[in-house]
Structure 1
Amino acid sequence: MIRTLADIDVAALAAFDAIIDVRSPGEFAEDHLPGAINLPVLDDAERAEVGTEYVQGSKFRARRNGAALVARNIARHLEGALADAPAGLKPLVYCWRGGQRSHAMVTIMDQVGWPVTVLDGGYQTWRRGVVRRLYDEPLDHRFVLIDGPTGVGKTEMLGRLAEAGEQVLDLEALANHRGSLFGAMPGGQPSQKLFDSRLIAALAALDPARPVAVEAESSRVGTVTLPKQIWAVMQAAPVVELTAPMEDRISRILQDYDGFSRNSDLVAEVLARLPRHISKSQRADWLEMVRQGQTAAFVQSLIEAHYDPAYGRQGRRPIAHLPSYAVDALKQILQSA
Structure 2
Amino acid sequence: MSQKRPNTDNYLDIFLNDRPLMDVRAPVEFSKGAFAHSTNLPLINDREREQVGIRYKHEGQAAAIALGNELVCGKERDARIEGWMQHVQTNPEGYLYCFRGGLRSHTVQAWLREQGIDYPLVTGGYKALRRFLIDEMEKSISQCRFFILSGKTGTGKTRLLITLPGHVDLEGIANHRGSSFGRRIGGQPNQIDFENALSVALLKERHFRTGTVILEDESKLIGRCSLSQEFREKMQLAPILLLEEDLEYRVQITLEEYVEENLKENIAAYGEEGFERYAEALLASLDRIRKRLGGARHQELRAIMEQALTEQRNGSIERHREWIRTLLADYYDPMYEYQLDNKQGEVVLKGDRHTIHEWVMQNLPHQNAAA
Task: Provide TM-score, normalisation by structure 2.
Answer: 0.77
Note the alpha carbon deviations across 1:35-80, whole angstroms, 9 max, x for none: 2222111123332344456668999875434223445555324324
Work out whether residues 146 and 240 of structure 1, in 8 Å CA contact, stay in contact via their aligned partners in 2.
yes
- After superposition, residues 238-253 of structure 1 pair within 5 angstroms as 238-253=239-254
Q: How many residue pairs are counted as aligned between the two chains? A: 331
Q: Secondary structure, in 3 states, of the residue corresponding to 2:147?
A: strand
- After superposition, residues 259-278 of structure 1 pair within 5 angstroms as 263=278, 265-274=280-289, 276-278=291-293
CA distance in 1, matches of 2:15, 2:151: 38
Structure 2 match to 1:38: 40
Work out whether residues 8 and 126 of structure 1, in 8 Å CA contact, stay in contact via their aligned partners in 2.
no
Give yes or no for the alignment of 1:300 onto 2:303. no
Cα deviation for residue 215 of structure 1 reads: 0.9
- After superposition, residues 1-337 of structure 1 pair within 5 angstroms as 5=8, 7-12=9-14, 18-51=20-53, 63-71=65-73, 75-83=78-86, 85=88, 89=92, 91-135=94-138, 138-161=141-164, 166-207=165-206, 209-258=210-259, 263=278, 265-274=280-289, 276-293=291-308, 294-314=319-339, 315=341, 316=343, 317-326=346-355, 327-335=357-365
Structure 1 pair 127–304 and aligned structure 2 pair: CA distance change class (3 A): same
Structure 1 pair 16–225 and aligned structure 2 pair: CA distance change class (3 A): closer
Letter in 2 for 1:123: Y
Cα deviation for residue 291 of structure 1 reads: 0.9
Q: Secondary structure, in 3 states, of the residue corresponding to 2:161?
A: helix
CA distance in 2, matches of 1:14, 1:114: 26
Q: Which stretch has the larger CA shift, 308-317 or 117-126?
A: 117-126
Work out whether residues 98 and 120 of structure 1, in 8 Å CA contact, stay in contact via their aligned partners in 2.
yes
Letter in 2 for 1:174: I
Letter in 1 for 2:252: S
CA distance in 1, matches of 2:18, 2:288: 46
Cα deviation for residue 251 of structure 1 reads: 0.9
CA distance in 2, matches of 1:14, 1:246: 41
Structure 1 pair 270–42 and aligned structure 2 pair: CA distance change class (3 A): same
Q: Secondary structure, in 3 states, of the residue corresponding to 1:206?
A: helix
Structure 1 pair 102–16 and aligned structure 2 pair: CA distance change class (3 A): farther
Determine what percentage of the aligned residue pairs are the same residue: 28
Note the alpha carbon deviations across 1:252-276, whole angstroms, 9 max, x for none: 1011011669855334422333274
Work out whether residues 101 and 121 of structure 2, in 8 Å CA contact, stay in contact via their aligned partners in 1.
yes
CA distance in 2, matches of 1:17, 1:76: 24
Unaligned runs of 5+ in 2: 264-274, 309-318, 367-371
CA distance in 2, matches of 1:14, 1:268: 42
Letter in 1 for 2:68: G
Work out whether residues 98 and 121 of structure 1, in 8 Å CA contact, stay in contact via their aligned partners in 2.
yes
Cα RMSD after superposing both structures: 3.3
Structure 1 pair 221–50 and aligned structure 2 pair: CA distance change class (3 A): same
Letter in 1 for 2:26: S
Note the alpha carbon deviations across 1:6-41, whole angstroms, 9 max, x for none: x55342457896422101233223322342222111
Work out whether residues 176 and 188 of structure 2, in 8 Å CA contact, stay in contact via their aligned partners in 1.
yes
Work out whether residues 90 and 115 of structure 1, in 8 Å CA contact, stay in contact via their aligned partners in 2.
no
Work out whether residues 101 and 126 of structure 2, in 8 Å CA contact, stay in contact via their aligned partners in 1.
yes
Structure 1 pair 49–319 and aligned structure 2 pair: CA distance change class (3 A): same
Structure 1 pair 81–56 and aligned structure 2 pair: CA distance change class (3 A): closer
Q: Which stretch has the larger CA shift, 296-305 or 261-270?
A: 261-270
Note the alpha carbon deviations across 1:127-162, whole angstroms, 9 max, x for none: 22222232587432112111100000101101222x
